[in-house]
């Protein structure tokens, strides 16, 4: 099928979109600081911020949270800090082109000298580079070509040049850490989301040794890290059950030395483990389903240290200072965009590492954020995050936003789209239906294969719950989502059309057969368990493809796609747009030429939110704009 032409607003629509953009822009410009590390001398903080319209790298005085941020280098694409070099002079960063996820590794001086690409040539989906502190002449990374399932481990000189293959695996996988002396690597074999294996690789020979589990077993590994001396490996796992653990294993034998049992909640996976070089301290980032938590442990005993009291929100640990006394972290709450913090390891006290004015936040009404739970048709508990404008009156139109994944999760946090629509008089609701991550192994696996039909019932249950609330206008409920959430939108519109007034689909899957044939090899492999095999389960995949039931869609739909999307190719959006245009169902199509499975560039975000707001005004009626408080 030929590409569908994007819509170009004109006339009254264009004028109204321009007016709405003036309301969107201040909220998008309430920038986020999303990565933060201290330099070796502790005097500067290096961080990523989208203040100039795209995630870029900045440097500022670490002792003064209000100090001016200096952009390290002008760069045309998004950037991510990966590692500081041990000499304190440079850093490694990641960047791709047009958000195509073909990541390349660059080195740039902290003096802002011109970046050098360490991995030129072959286009590849690379994972985060690892740089051993005591042997910094070599950078290690794992990666794969888009169409391939297997992964390989590479080594490249810090000065750049040809990368050599150190290890190949016939299954998906990725590196998680390198020992400080550069002699060992940790490689996680990722057969499925519920069957992982951790290998220790010898960098001199490329030989591998399985560390955990020692025998074939259905366990999920969520993080793995070497101790400072390289003799111990810390493995975060569910051990095949509902109880999450941190295990301390001998790096060579895999023998268990100690364990930490996660409680409150027991189902929270440890998504990140960080080890201080001195002081014997570990920092854990926990995914507690609808929020994040930070915990500090003694690296020798795995006993808890000082509690870290962060506000209810989303974030995680970033890195220890050289002396192990400080830990950087990022955090956001419903009223505060993601920002950098520093934690005193001895006391657990957190203070802002960056504290910059964001005057445009005054346009956001005070937000009432809460977490509630409802019962699914079979009694399963479904958590729901609810955001309401404080001081509201009357019945509000409701946006029910479903997360991606499928095993992602909706967490209490700052989000510019939610803040904007709250300011426009909407309620914003985020369900965690079965299949969401952070609520336990069984809950996450409950939508696999034919369990998908039960998850579809959860979509209807959470949508009807939102429509029934005293603050909701049941005649104006909008279904909204990106990626798997976009697929959820299409499922909702095809299977329960009477529930919704309109939908907003961001790069959602329309046709399971074509999606499985065009997505990346890695994602296709993972979806064999999540959804089904395109050959063995062809009939079932057809039955859960929204395109099969597109004749059931009667509600207007806004569709967004990134031209360079490697996960859900634009062709999925083209198919649903074509089908609705053929049936004369109101559909508006936006395609961003410089985005992939993403919406990160400032101008694109402003255009998207303004156009969606106008689309909903036309098809779901205007909302009463909430007033800032």
The answer for residues whose C-beta is within 8 angstroms of residue 428's C-beta and 6 or more apart is 386, 387, 388, 398, 399, 401, 418, 421, 422
pLDDT band, residue 625 (cuts 50/70/90): low
**Over 60: is that where the pLDDT of 626 sits?**
no
Phi then psi for residue 487, to 5 deg, are: -60, -40
What is the DSSP secondary structure assignment for residue 134, as one 8-state letter?
T
The Cα–Cα gap between 342 and 617 comes to 43
Q: Judge whether 560 and 507 are in contact, CB under 8 Å.
A: yes
Q: How many CB atoms lie within 10 A of CB 12?
A: 10
C-alpha separations of 206 from 152, 209, 255, 420 in Å: 11, 10, 22, 51
The Cα–Cα gap between 579 and 577 comes to 5
Q: Judge whether 564 and 596 are in contact, CB under 8 Å.
A: yes
pLDDT at 385: 98
- Which residues are bridge partners to 225 per DSSP? 234
Q: How many CB atoms lie within 10 A of CB 536?
A: 10
Mean pLDDT of 571-598: 98
Mean pLDDT of 95-117: 96
CA angle 538, 541, 543 (to 5 degrees): 110
Q: Residues 140-166: pLDDT tens digits?
A: 999 999 889 999 999 999 998 889 999
CATH class of 367-620: alpha beta
Q: Residues 223-263: pLDDT tens digits?
A: 999 999 999 999 999 999 999 999 999 999 999 999 999 99
The Cα–Cα gap between 370 and 387 comes to 7
The answer for residues whose C-beta is within 8 angstroms of residue 382's C-beta and 6 or more apart is 373, 374, 375, 376, 431, 432, 433, 434, 458, 461, 462
């Amino acid at each position: 099928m030929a590409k569908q032409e994007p819509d170009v607003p004109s006339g009254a629509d264009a004028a109204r979109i321009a007016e709405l953009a003036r309301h969107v822009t201040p909220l998008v410009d309430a920038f986020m600081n999303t990565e933060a590390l201290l330099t070796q001398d502790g005097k500067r903080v290096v961080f990523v911020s989208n203040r100039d319209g795209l995630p870029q790298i900045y440097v500022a005085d670490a002792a003064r949270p209000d100090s001016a941020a200096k952009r390290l280098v002008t760069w045309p694409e998004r950037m991510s800090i990966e590692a500081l070099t041990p000499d304190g002079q440079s850093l490694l960063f990641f960047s791709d082109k047009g958000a195509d996820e073909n990541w390349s590794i660059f080195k740039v001086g902290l003096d802002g000298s011109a970046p050098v690409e360490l991995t030129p040539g072959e286009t590849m989906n690379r994972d985060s580079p690892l740089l051993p502190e005591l042997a910094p002449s070599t950078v290690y990374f794992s990666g794969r070509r888009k169409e391939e399932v297997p992964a390989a481990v590479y080594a490249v000189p810090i000065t750049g040049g040809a990368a050599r293959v150190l290890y190949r695996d016939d299954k998906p996988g990725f590196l998680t850490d390198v020992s400080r002396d550069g002699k060992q690597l940790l490689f996680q074999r990722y057969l499925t989301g519920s069957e992982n294996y951790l290998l220790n690789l010898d960098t001199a020979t490329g030989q591998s040794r399985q560390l955990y589990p020692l025998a074939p077993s259905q366990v999920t590994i969520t993080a793995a890290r070497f101790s400072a001396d390289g003799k111990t490996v810390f493995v975060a796992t569910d051990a095949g059950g509902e109880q999450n653990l941190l295990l301390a294993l001998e790096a060579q034998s895999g023998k268990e030395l100690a364990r930490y049992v996660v409680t409150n909640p027991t189902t929270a996976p440890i998504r990140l483990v960080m080890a201080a070089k001195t002081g014997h301290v570990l920092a854990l980032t926990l995914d507690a389903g609808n929020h994040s938590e930070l915990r500090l442990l003694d690296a020798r005993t795995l006993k808890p240290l000082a509690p870290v009291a962060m506000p209810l929100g989303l974030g995680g640990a970033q890195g220890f200072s050289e002396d192990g006394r400080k830990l950087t972290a990022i955090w956001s709450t419903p009223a505060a965009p993601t920002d950098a913090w520093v934690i005193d390891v001895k006391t657990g006290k957190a203070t802002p590492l960056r504290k910059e004015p964001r005057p445009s936040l005054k346009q956001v009404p005070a937000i009432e954020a809460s977490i509630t739970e409802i019962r699914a048709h079979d009694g399963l508990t479904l958590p729901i995050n609810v955001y309401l404008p404080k001081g509201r009156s009357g019945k509000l139109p409701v946006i029910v936003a479903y997360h991606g994944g499928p095993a992602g999760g909706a967490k209490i946090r700052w989000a510019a789209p939610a803040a904007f629509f709250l300011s426009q008089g909407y309620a914003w609701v985020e369900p965690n239906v079965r299949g969401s991550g952070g609520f336990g192994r069984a809950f996450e696996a409950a939508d696999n294969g034919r369990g998908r039909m039960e998850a579809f019932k959860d979509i209807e249950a959470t949508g009807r719950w939102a429509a029934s609330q005293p603050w909701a206008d049941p005649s104006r409920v909008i279904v909204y989502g990106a990626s798997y959430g976009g697929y959820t939108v299409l499922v909702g519109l095809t299977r329960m059309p009477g529930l919704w007034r309109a939908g907003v689909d961001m790069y959602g899957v329309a046709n399971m057969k074509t999606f499985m044939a065009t997505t990346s090899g890695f994602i296709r492999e993972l979806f064999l368990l999540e959804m089904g095999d395109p050959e063995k389960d062809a009939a079932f995949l057809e039955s859960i493809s929204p395109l099969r039931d597109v004749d059931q869609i009667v509600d207007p739909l806004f569709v967004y796609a990134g031209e360079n999307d490697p996960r859900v190719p634009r062709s999925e959006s083209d198919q649903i747009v074509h089908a609705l245009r053929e049936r004369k169902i109101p559909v508006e199509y936006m395609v961003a030429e410089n985005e992939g499975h993403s919406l990160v560039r400032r101008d694109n975000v402003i255009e998207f939110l303004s156009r969606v707001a106008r689309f909903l005004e036309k098809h779901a009626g205007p909302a009463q704009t909430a007033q800032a408080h």
